[in-house]
Amino acid sequence: MCLLHIMQIFDALFAPIARLLVARGVLFPDLAERMKAHYVAAALTQSGGRATDSRVSVMTGLQRRDVARLRGEDVKDRRPNHLSRLVALWQTGADWSDGGQPRPLPRAGAAPSFEALAQAVRRDVHPRTMLDTLVSAGTVTLSDDGQTVALVQTSYQPLAGSDDQLAYLSRNLGDHAQAAFENVQGRDLPHFERAVHYSGLTETQVAALAARFSAAEMALFREISQTAAEMKRGNAAPGLMRFRAGGYFYRTGEPD
């Protein structure tokens, strides 16, 4: 397969990334510089970390001076999202929920309280900062006197355009793409990665299907989350594996 054909196949991935980066003011030279580090990391992974700078240069088309400069650079986003962890713990932790139903919590004081829950997740961020962010996002509500906090959303949905939202996008799409790419490369135990797609439907029909899909997905996500939390609590020692299970439903009037 020629290089041009491969690049055209990936236009479906490049186009939305380019639109988002332009909207966020990321200039192409900055993207190109960041991609250099990912190219070096990919070549080293493919060679088991044993490739010389010259070999990596041949594999990537980068100058050896760039390879030497970028070798070993950390290109992974390792920042944990403490707010999503807080919401998950609130729904699955025995101190904060009853059978998966999150309890309304006193705002301050000893456990069980929102203050204690926030400190259990992260001690270097003030509980008030977490609370204000969750209230702004509509994830929690306060009682009339402001002393009781109730969880009203099953997940933390960051504000549109925020850094938290971009981080979610990056992690979710990153794991989805990694699963698909490993399948394409012939992984021995394929990841589950499927999609249903139809055209020729009306807007009302697609809306009905979207509502049905969302309800079924959320029910499954809640079940998986509860089961995973119970498994984790039952482990004698922390396991080494992680997983991410997701789904999407995209609609458009543009032709496929």
Find the CATH number of the domain harbouring 143: 1.10.10
Q: What is the mean pLDDT of residues 56-63?
A: 92
Do 144 and 201 share a domain, yes or no? Answer: no
Domain membership of residue 223 (yes or no) is yes
The structure's pTM equals: 0.66
Q: What does the longest C-alpha to C-alpha distance in the chain come to?
A: 67
Domain membership of residue 156 (yes or no) is no
pLDDT at 167: 80
Do 66 and 88 share a domain, yes or no? Answer: no
Do 52 and 90 share a domain, yes or no? Answer: no
Residues pairing with 105 in the sheet = 149
pLDDT digits (tens, 9 = 90+) for 137-178: 889 999 999 999 999 988 888 777 777 788 878 888 888 988
More confident residue, 77 or 217: 217
Domain membership of residue 90 (yes or no) is yes
pLDDT at 79: 59
Look at residues 42, 70, 98 and tell me which one is the last residue of a structural domain.
70
The answer to whether 132 and 146 have CB atoms below 8 angstroms apart is no
209: Cα separation from own chain's centroid: 24
Is residue 114 predicted with pLDDT exceeding 70? yes
The confidence band for 85, taking pLDDT boundaries of 50, 70 and 90, is confident
CA distances from 73 to 37, 38, 42, 66, 177 (A): 7, 9, 12, 11, 22
| Contacts for 126-131: CB closer than 8 Å, 24+ residues apart | 130/82, 130/83, 130/86, 131/107
Domain membership of residue 191 (yes or no) is no
Best mean pLDDT range from 109-113, 165-169, 211-215: 211-215
Is residue 118 predicted with pLDDT exceeding 90? yes
The answer to whether 171 and 158 have CB atoms below 8 angstroms apart is no
Domain membership of residue 173 (yes or no) is no
Do 110 and 135 share a domain, yes or no? Answer: yes
Q: What is the mean pLDDT of residues 98-117?
A: 88
Do 27 and 61 share a domain, yes or no? Answer: yes
Q: How confident is the prediction for the chain on average, in pLDDT?
A: 87
pLDDT at 163: 75
Number of domains in the chain: 3
Domain membership of residue 181 (yes or no) is no
The answer to whether 169 and 162 have CB atoms below 8 angstroms apart is no
| Contacts for 114-120: CB closer than 8 Å, 24+ residues apart | 114/149, 117/86, 117/89, 117/90, 117/93, 118/86, 120/89
Domain membership of residue 185 (yes or no) is no
Domain membership of residue 169 (yes or no) is no
Q: What is the mean pLDDT of residues 27-49?
A: 90
- The whole-angstrom separation of Cα 248 and Cα 256 is 17
Range of the domain at 55: 3-70
Amino acid identity for residue 34 in this structure: R
Do 36 and 92 share a domain, yes or no? Answer: no
Look at residues 44, 70, 96 and tell me which one is the last residue of a structural domain.
70
- The whole-angstrom separation of Cα 33 and Cα 77 is 16
- Torsions phi, psi of 40, nearest 5? -60, -45
Look at residues 92, 118, 151 and tell me which one is the last residue of a structural domain.
151
